[in-house]
Amino acid sequence: MTTWASYIAGDLRARIRAGRELPKHLTLDHLSQQYNVSLTPVRIAVNELIREDFLRKRENGRLAINTEKIGVDGSGAKPSRPQPPKKHYNRIANDLVSLSLEGRSVFVREEDAAERYGISRAAVRQTFHRLVGVGILEHVPRRGWRLRPFRQKELDAFLEVREVLELKALDLAWPRLADDQLKALCDGNVLPKSPRGQPVVDNSLHAYLIEKADNPYISDFFERHGKYYEALFDWELADRDSAIETVRQHRAILEALLNRDRKAARKALVAHIRFNHPVLSVSGGLPEGKTTQMTCPSKGVLLK
């Protein structure tokens, strides 16, 4: 997996070789701001480029590009730059969901998260603010970021209300259903084509029914309370068997809707809501044998 250090080194190397889009300021702070990461991966990348003689350190300690390396490919073409690592938001969200499933209410430290993921504290803070909106974190003044612990009782209560409101949404949406849209949703849920293949899950069926229902109170419930559970359900789909079953259940609902069989559609929707979370419901949290990559000391969460 590409790290931020290897990405930064590869990106600067490609830019120097092509002789274009070179950084204006070669300081650790400037590069850290440019790539929106902490100083640690920048230092690693710079040291690698110094060893390869793409960068040189002057007597005064400042960095300089080795001009002999500029334009060495001779093409003058735009540099073929590497792709950055996977978005850190998804990694942090998935790790925090895993920690939430351990059922403990702990505080998460910005500085530890920045070090673990190799990004700046500003980027961590921005991500944490997004996770507050999802309901995974709570910002406590003068204390920091508190993780929301998973509670099986709360999930059960949410699913009870969700069932009532989604069935009502289906009934309200019924006269507004469009076959082309339903077919596109069905085509977006794909079973694996081989024993080792991965399924493709499209969860937008639920949002589609809520939108077509055009009831602001139903929409408000899911906007207020659904985001945290959406994050849990997305995490759960990393389990291949759960993802395959989700695809099958989605297609059963959508095929009933396409056939305009309301009774079958309602039955399939109820079964999907009640029985589609075996990883969460059976284990009451983390799947057996699965552990989070985080530990929880008394003063907060240390991201290893």
The model's pLDDT over 100-136, given as tens digits with 9 standing for 90+, comes to 988 878 999 999 998 888 888 888 888 898 899 889 9
The mean-pLDDT minimum among 68-82, 150-164, 196-210 falls in 68-82
Confirm if 3 and 83 have CB atoms less than 8 A apart.
Answer: no
What pTM was computed for the model?
Answer: 0.64
Question: 41: which residues sit within 8 A by CB, 6+ positions away?
Answer: 3, 4, 5, 8, 35, 118
Residue corresponding to tokens 């007597």: 59
Sheet with 137-140, strands from edge to edge, namely: 107-108, 144-147, 137-140
Helices (H) and strands (E) in the chain, counts: 13, 7
Confirm if 44 and 5 have CB atoms less than 8 A apart.
Answer: yes
Higher pLDDT, 291 or 229: 229
- In the chain, CATH 1.20.120 covers 152-283
The CATH fold of domain 4-69:
Arc Repressor Mutant, subunit A (1.10.10)
- Average pLDDT of the residues in 16-28: 80
Bridge partners of 115? none
**In the structure encoding, which two tokens stand for residue 270, read together?**
């109820």
Residue range 152-283 in CATH 1.20.120: yes
CA dihedral 89, 94, 98, 104 (to 10 degrees): 30
Confirm if 112 and 302 have CB atoms less than 8 A apart.
Answer: yes
Percent above pLDDT 70 for the chain: 86
Confirm if 213 and 169 have CB atoms less than 8 A apart.
Answer: yes
Q: Does the pLDDT value for residue 284 go beyond 80?
A: no
CA dihedral 102, 106, 110, 114 (to 10 degrees): -20
Percent above pLDDT 90 for the chain: 44
- CA-wise closest residue to 46 among 61, 303, 84, 68: 61
- Is residue 291 very low, low, confident or very high in pLDDT (cuts 50, 70, 90)? very low
pLDDT at res. 293: 40
Q: Does the pLDDT value for residue 77 go beyond 60?
A: no
As a whole number of angstroms, the distance between CA 286 and CA 232 comes to: 11
Question: 227: which residues sit within 8 A by CB, 6+ positions away?
Answer: 133, 134, 135
Distances (CA, A) of 69 to 19, 52, 115: 8, 10, 32
| DSSP, res 284 | S
- In the chain, CATH 1.10.10.10 covers 4-69, 88-150
Higher pLDDT, 58 or 165: 165
Mean pLDDT in the chain?
A: 84
As a whole number of angstroms, the distance between CA 248 and CA 240 comes to: 13
pLDDT at res. 295: 37
| DSSP, res 172 | H
- Average pLDDT of the residues in 186-196: 92
Q: What is the pLDDT of residues 133-176, one digit of tens each?
A: 889 999 998 889 999 999 989 999 999 999 999 999 999 999 99
As a whole number of angstroms, the distance between CA 135 and CA 130 comes to: 9
Relative orientation angle of helices 88-100 and 216-236, to the nearest 10 degrees? 90
CATH code reported for the domain at 88-150: 1.10.10.10
Which contacts of 91-96 are long-range, i.e. CB under 8 A and separated by 24 or more positions?
91/117, 92/117, 92/124, 92/127, 92/131, 93/127, 93/131, 93/134, 93/136, 93/231, 94/235, 94/238, 95/292, 95/293, 95/294, 95/303, 96/131, 96/136, 96/137, 96/147
As a whole number of angstroms, the distance between CA 18 and CA 34 comes to: 19
pLDDT at res. 278: 64
pLDDT at res. 302: 42
